[in-house]
Amino acid sequence: MKVTANIATYPPRFATLQKVIDSLVDQVDEVRVYCNEIDDLSFLQAYLNKDYNKKNKIILICGWVSNFNLTDNGKFYFLDNLTEPEYYLTCDDDIIYPPNYVETIKKAIDHYGCIVGFHGRQLLGTGLDYYKDHKSFHFLGSVTNDEVIDVVGTGVCGFRTDYFHPKELAHSAEKRMSDLIFSLEASKQKKQIGIIKHDAGWLKMINNKETIHSTESAKGTPVQNILADQIYRNNYAND
């Protein structure tokens, strides 16, 4: 079964995107990149190593083919047109993935038969602040046990599309909340999400001035709170 890495990016990240692709390209069959806010791929290709073309592994999509700027939801763009099952890995444009990343996540997907990731939250109730009041597991830190979670970090997530195949997430009205819209759909379909143990430093982040967490948490989290409450009710309504 094919293994793909699916990323959304935008111009401020183009200069460092090659490092991300370098860490993934030899581990997967395809790296697909949805490129927000551009209408000419040559602008991005100027940053990327031409050797990628020889491998025929890199698929770049311009933002103009859809709603121009899907933000981080662009990593879901490729789900809508899949016709064959695959291991669909959702990745971020600011993370360096270790050489055994794909092997590790595939093994966990097959072992547990569910969606798996290395970052996320266990929701502790409703009416809480999404960023501050739930139990969190960070991909940069150490996670000592495999556990079931409610919200997965979609920068370090994978699943088989014959288990979970959401549609239209790329076009969600909620922007910069890909973890929540993905996990909400999983909760609606009663699909389980697990977090996998790993050591601190196994995954590495490229430092950027702007991140979704910093911009969204600074604005307050009313929408995130509502979505988290919906996920909690879907997962625990009968408890």
Mean pLDDT, rounded, for 121-127: 97
pTM over 0.75: yes
DSSP for residue 194: E
Per residue in 149-159, pLDDT (tens digit) is: 999 999 999 99
CATH dotted code for 2-236: 3.90.550.10
pLDDT-derived band at 221, boundaries 50, 70, 90: confident
Split at pLDDT 50, 70, 90, the class of 238 is: confident
Q: What pLDDT shows up at residue 144?
A: 97
Q: How high is the pLDDT of residue 39? A: 82
Helices in 89-221 by DSSP H: which ranges? 101-112, 178-188, 212-218
pLDDT (average), residues 161-186: 96
Q: How much of the chain, in percent, has pLDDT values that exceed 90?
A: 76
pLDDT at 50: 62
pLDDT, position 14? 87
Domain boundaries, the chain: 2-236
Give the pLDDT of residue 49: 67
The alpha-helical segments, DSSP class H, found in 66-177 are 101-112
> What whole-number distance in Å separates Cα of residue 50 and Cα of residue 42?
12
In this prediction, residues 76-96 reach a mean pLDDT of 97
Q: Tell me how far CA of residue 52 lies from CA of 24, 59, 106, 173, in angstroms.
A: 12, 10, 23, 33
